A and B are shown apart, each in its own frame.
Chain A
Amino acid sequence: DAGVIQSPRHEVTEMGQEVTLRCKPISGHDYLFWYRQTMMRGLELLIYFNNNVPIDDSGMPEDRFSAKMPNASFSTLKIQPSEPRDSAVYFCASSLAGGRTDTQYFGPGTRLTVL
């Protein structure tokens, strides 16, 4: 079975540019999560969706960040405009259900570098 797929794997951009990260969750999973990993802050949940609907975006750092899930098999995380402090690894994860016993399966991540 295909796992969670993320693209691109690496992204290098200049400050002020728009960045779009993409995620395809595991088929049949109803929950999708976006995380950010940095040395300073570790792993942080940015936003999560249930059945394509955003449920909790309290982790999104600023209005420059936005996420969408137009259908059950695709989600995007957009940063506009990007800043150097956005440099991090961004992970997408999905789970069958969002309960306390459900395992979240992670994609390989997108390493973003903003110059």
Chain B
Amino acid sequence: GNSVTQMEGPVTLSEEAFLTINCTYTATGYPSLFWYVQYPGEGLQLLLKATKADDKGSNKGFEATYRKETTSFHLEKGSVQVSDSAVYFCALIYAGGTSYGKLTFGQGTILTVHP
């Protein structure tokens, strides 16, 4: 079946540090890949997405590239801010068979950024 594996957290960084959160996936066919962010007490918000191999999603200084050869979609940001503290979820949608339209999530990575 389809699955997403994220690096275990929590991740603690100082402001302006470089961020990488690793994400790898297992899926049949060609899924779309997503990063969602959940701020404390809120629902999930789409951060970025990529729908085919070698696509780069980007938003708010965050980037992730769809790597089919390594089945990865690692999230990066060059300089984090305190306001980036949140839980980050990697997810995929594989539109085929019984998995049509279903978002499959990783376990989430807690990021804390200190001033």
Contacts and interface: CB of A to CB of B under 8 A. Distances in A.
A39 B26 CA distance: 22
> Taking each of B49, B101, B107, which has the highest tally of chain A beta carbons within 10 Å of its own beta carbon?
B101
A45 interface: yes
Interface residues of A, number: 26
A107 B105 CA distance: 16
A31 B101 contact: yes
B49 to A, nearest CB: 7
Interface in B62-109: 89, 93-95, 98, 100-103, 105-108
Contacts of A101: 32, 49, 51, 93
Contact of B89 (A43, A93, A95): A43
Contacts, number: 63
A106 B102 contact: no
Contacts of A95: 101
Contacts of A104: 46, 103
Interface string B40-56: 00111110010100000
A102 interface: yes
A45 B97 CA distance: 16
Given A45-B103, A48-B102, A103 B43 contact: no
Given A42-B108, A43-B105, A99-B101, A105 B46 contact: yes
Interface of A: 4, 31, 33, 35, 42-43, 45, 48, 55-56, 58, 91, 93, 95, 98-109
19 contacts: A42-B105, A42-B106, A43-B108, A45-B102, A48-B101, A48-B102, A93-B44, A95-B101, A98-B95, A98-B101, A99-B95, A100-B31, A100-B93, A101-B32, A101-B51, A102-B101, A103-B49, A106-B44, A106-B45
